[in-house]
Chain A
Amino acid sequence: NAGVTQTPKFQVLKTGQSMTLQCAQDMNHEYMSWYRQDPGMGLRLIHYSVGAGITDQGEVPNGYNVSRSTTEDFPLRLLSAAPSQTSVYFCASSSRNRATDTQYFGPGTRLTVL
């Protein structure tokens, strides 16, 4: 299994540009989520999905959209990038949305917005 994969690894955008961060998992996990990591703040949940066709907001959803058309893929869209969205983004998945299930993380996408 490749586990959780993310593309691209690095991206530089200009303010106002849009882009999609890709996330895929090959473990048939129902639960997928997006986090952003900022220095000294740990990881914060952006959006999550408990299965295909179902998404919901996390702690910091503003400026981001998601969709879940398949079990494997969970893309994160930035509609109009802002410098405040400069961060490292991690996608994660777990078998189900239970508190006992371990979430597994992708390698991350480092995004810079100028």
Chain B
Amino acid sequence: AQSVAQPEDQVNVAEGNPLTVKCTYSVSGNPYLFWYVQYPNRGLQFLLKYITGDNLVKGSYGFEAEFNKSQTSFHLKKPSALVSDSALYFCAVRDDRGSTLGRLYFGRGTQLTVWP
């Protein structure tokens, strides 16, 4: 079965500092990994995804994520945090086989707070 874990419920960082939101995954096939962001009272917005190729994936709003197969991780990063980055971040894996093909499995989410 596919699953993702976000070990931190909350991450706090000062504006201008680098940020990391952690995600680890467990899959039985190929890892197709996604990051979404949810601002208060809004839907989920797609940030980036890893399908294949370069381990460093660049996405929207200056975010990037590093895929590490040996550590089964897909951490979200940004070199310099902004107050406007404060939001709820979800890591997800999409199933690539069998009767559950196409399903997205989400982590529980990490609340990122960037203070001025």
- Chain A interface residues toward B at CB < 8 A: 4, 31, 33, 35, 40-45, 48, 50, 58, 90, 92, 94, 97-108
Contact = CB atoms under 8 A, between A and B. Distances in A.
Interface string B77-116: 0000000000000100011110001111011110000000
Given A42-B107, A42-B109, A58-B103, A100 B51 contact: yes
B104 A45 contact: yes
Given A40-B108, A42-B108, A102-B49, A48 B44 contact: no
B103 A42 contact: no
Interface in B29-57: 30, 32, 34, 36, 42-46, 49, 51
Closest 10 CB pairs of A and B: A99-B96, A42-B106, A97-B102, A105-B44, A99-B32, A107-B43, A105-B43, A99-B94, A43-B106, A42-B108
